[in-house]
Copies of this chain bind each other. A is one copy, B any other.
Amino acid sequence: MQPLPTTFVEAPRLSALTGAEVLLVSETFQHGGSFKYRAAHHVASHVAASTIVCASSGNFGQAMALACKLVGKRCVVVMPETSARVKIEAVRALGATVELIDTRVVTREARVAELVAASPGAYTASAFDDPLVIEGNASLGRELAGSGRAFDAVLVPIGGGGLSSGILSGLRRAGSEAAVFAAEPALANDAARSLREGRRVALESEPRTIADGARTRCVGVHPWAILKDGLAGIVEVSEEAIGRAVYLAFAHANLKLEPTGALAIAALLEDPARFARRRVVCVCSGGNVDADLYRSLLETYAPA
């Protein structure tokens, strides 16, 4: 099952609000509800191994489980035992084996290494630091470049850098010179600090941003090689801008986004001057958010 084409959503009301000419590109209707299936499908269909092991309590684990199921591979997903029950069940429902760990006792990486050692020939799938992941995500850059739509800039959420580096390389190979900006939670600004220092900088501990897809401590080696000279800039966004972006996508574009998926819109709110009057594509990377959290964001950020 190939990845689905992305969904373009016009957003005149967000344009009026931000001063940019905004076009939303939504991966919320992708298989699994986020862009992650693009990479997972590419990995599952390109590695020879019959078993794939990964660590993810979020969208990547589900996407990998789905992709493995479809190509007939075994999939093992390492998740903290504190993960939401609904996420654990979703991965199991897709036929994957879930390995629950107590993160106070063993790290995800260590448990993945143990499992791979116990299953010779198994492939360790990183959610972002893998050329196959970047190549899978590049399909979205190619789609944008080939869409026939004109744009000056693309705003992309950044966590480990797999999506932004993929879009960047996909755009460039398809001949687009549009500027690519990353949108990163200020609480998890390893990528912004890396760009300033010209080298990969890691956070001391896992950041607590509400954008759970961007809680990586450091940009991956492979994404960094593409991003360090390719990115036009990184906008660091406040938690408040993220929450407000989730609300505005709901109220002004009928789009249900998870906090990470709203980072690009949040960047427009955070730094409108930078994008004023430019034709900006905001990549909305995913929509999987619990009803409880979503309700509380609507309650907090809707104007009284």
Contact = CB atoms under 8 A, between A and B. Distances in A.
Interface of A: 4, 7, 9-10, 28-29, 31, 33, 247, 250-251, 253-256, 287-288, 291-292, 294-295, 298-299, 302
Contacts of A33: 254
5 contacts: A7-B29, A250-B294, A291-B298, A291-B302, A295-B295
A256 B249 CA distance: 10
Contacts of A28: 254
Contacts of A298: 291, 294-295
B4 A31 contact: no
A288 B255 CA distance: 11
A29 B4 contact: no
A9 B4 CA distance: 10
Contacts of A247: 291
A134 B292 CA distance: 40
Contacts of A254: 28-29, 33, 256, 287-288
A294 B10 CA distance: 22
A254 B261 CA distance: 12
A304 B101 CA distance: 26
Nearest to A4: B10
A49 B31 CA distance: 47
B288 A299 contact: no
Q: Which 6 A-B pairs have the closest CB atoms?
A: A254-B287, A28-B254, A291-B302, A291-B298, A256-B256, A295-B295
A134 B56 CA distance: 49
Contact of A255 (B31, B256, B292, B299): B256
A251 B256 CA distance: 10
A243 to B, nearest CB: 13
